[in-house]
Amino acid sequence: MEFDVIEPQLPEQEHLDGRLEKRIQRLKGILHTYKHAKIARDVLIEISNLSERTSSLQDFYKEVHLLLKKIIAADNFYVASLCPLTEDIELIFFIDEEKPNRDLIKLENISELLKLGLTGYVIRTGQTLLCDRAKFKEMIAANEVKQVMDPLVNVWLGTPIIRGEQVLGALVVQSYQQGVTYSDSDIELMKFICQHIAGVSERIEHQHSMEQAITIRTNELIHTHNELKQEITERIQAEKLHKTLFEIASLCHDDLDDEHFYQKLSKILKQFLGDGNCYISLYDPENHSLFFPFCAQDDKNKQVMPKQRPFSDGLTEYLMKCEQALLLDKSDLSHLVEDKQIYQNMDCCPIILDISQWMAAPLYIDNQINGVLALYHSNPDIEYHESNLELLNFVAQQIAIAIERKRAAGIMQQNYQNLEREVKRRTSELAKANRELKKEITLRRKMELQLIYDANHDPLTGLPNRAMFMERLEQAISHIQRHPERQFALMFIDLDKFKRVNDTLGHIEGDRFLIETSDRLKMCVRQNDTLGRLGGDEFVVLLDSIQSPLDAIEIADRILQLLSNPYMLSGKKFYSSASIGIAISSTETEETEKLLRSADHAMYQAKAKGRGRYEIYQSPH
């Protein structure tokens, strides 16, 4: 029996190989995706760590660029920054694989080019932009950008760097290779990096501000410290100077002879100046010589200065001739000798040959130079300055004052008794002169008062004259102008028969008649009224503060009654009377002469109506 062998139905080998290849490719893709994701994760972690530890934006950009190249096409990479003040855009980091573009960062008009291009668009809008050549042409057509993009660029990705609501700049990557593009994850990565750039820039700016503030504060503290050190040094020097000046001034009040005076002065100067070389030279006008009451020399100087020498042409005399403080070094001294300004008439002092610096100030005693205070040294390590000269000059002034006061005290002591006797004599004479002067002043005062009285009063009756009465009348008018509710009255009195008295009895009896009339009028007026005589037989009365015209009428009646009584003239009775004109003030009263004319007019009306009466002036209006 024969059996047929049935072979199993297996898939075709090629079909199996194709499916296996697809699965392998898919697994490779998944593996590549995971590897890329791991690299991206590591890059992001490294960027985060880098943003925390970096201290320089340039170093940060370099590290970010290297990390970014691991996951996206970032061979062409740059960072643009926007200045908030000038709004200029500058490239603060730039790397490009094309050699011609490496000099782009150095262009002077780079800011304008960036503003017109894609970078300016991203900064202006604050939006991320992914742009290829086609989209770039569309944006040019829409007038959103200008043609400043490199024609070799295939794809361009820019992300704004934003802090809060402020755009700080842009982060850009671009590629010149065909087929290269950027995915959404690449865009998110760029945004992530921009966030860190904003944070790093803020932290570095804050750190820079802190460092700058610390530097400024440190410099301020150093400056303050130096000022305090200088102030302490100056204060110590000032206290030392103050103590020296106080001790010099105190010498004036001590009762010392010349020898002890200069011994104490020598001790004070040694404490202030140290163990240097110093001397005081004074001019003696009687002997025309210089003597040295004080001289201090260090141990190096073997030459001893003389106690006294004739006045000649030495260095001390040269300073007295210059009449100012001098600071001379060795070359200055040599030139003075060579120019024959010193030591021509006397031997050169051996000390001068070894001096490195000589500093001296004049002593002004009794308003003229009568001496010198000098310092000198032979040490090349020591150097005097102008400040030392100013200090020496000041000390010299105080020493001169002390010497002057010392001399003045001696002279004062000698002249004290003579002065005391002279004071007693002059005091006695002065007391006598004062008594005589006091009498003369009293007499002159009486004469002045009498002249003032005579100028304002009638010499016959003693009544106020026309000038004084008119002044009182002006005061009364000013008073009622300020107080319109007040009133006053003016009386003009003319005596009847006065001319007959003068003609028949003579002027002496006429004067007696006027004097008695004035006495009668004084009895009629009030204490605050003013009675005056204008001249001849004309009298005037200023009635102050009347309540009504009735007050004036009452006084006028009293005057007429008293004046009607008989007068005894030359042993005979004589009768007289008067005509009185009265003018009452009003709010319109302004001129004294006008008021006086009104009263005078009323008086003539009274005289015309029979005399021995009064009339009140009535205004015609």
Catalytic residue numbers?
537
| Strands (DSSP E) found in 441-529 | 489-495
Query: 51 by DSSP, 3-state: which?
Result: helix
- 457: which DSSP letter? B
Distance from C-alpha of 176 to C-alpha of 155, rounded to nearest angstrom: 7
CB 320 within 8 A of CB 369: yes
Distances 174 to 69, 140, 180, 255, 457 between C-alpha atoms, Å: 12, 18, 9, 101, 121
Which amino acid belongs to residue 199?
G
CB 462 within 8 A of CB 575: no
Distance from C-alpha of 396 to C-alpha of 402, rounded to nearest angstrom: 10
CA dihedral of 225, 230, 233, 239, whole degrees rounded to 10: -110
CB 77 within 8 A of CB 68: yes
Q: Is 86 exposed, middle or buried (0-12, 13-18, 19+ CB in 10 A)?
A: exposed
At CB < 8 A and 24+ separation, what contacts does 241-245 make?
Answer: 241/272, 241/391, 241/394, 241/395, 244/268, 244/269, 244/271, 244/272, 244/395, 245/395, 245/398
CB 488 within 8 A of CB 545: yes
* Residues 6 or more apart whose Cβ sits within 8 Å of residue 304: 297
* Residues 6 or more apart whose Cβ sits within 8 Å of residue 150: 98, 101, 174, 176
For residue 326, count other CB atoms closer than 10 A to its CB. 18
> Closest Cα partner for 476 from 569, 592, 575?
592
Please name the helix (run of DSSP H) or strand (run of DSSP E) that holds residue 580, with its range, or none: strand 578-584
401, two tokens: 């004052």
Q: Are strands 578-584 and 613-616 parallel, antiparallel or unpaired?
A: parallel
> Closest Cα partner for 358 from 315, 398, 321?
315
Region for residue 182 given its phi and psi (left: phi exceeds 0; alpha: psi -120 to 50; beta: otherwise): beta
- 380: which DSSP letter? T
CA torsion through residues 93, 99, 100, 103, sign: positive
Distance from C-alpha of 80 to C-alpha of 124, rounded to nearest angstrom: 12
Which residues lie across from 371 on neighbouring strands? Answer: 282, 363
Report the Cα 464 to chain-centroid distance in Å: 62
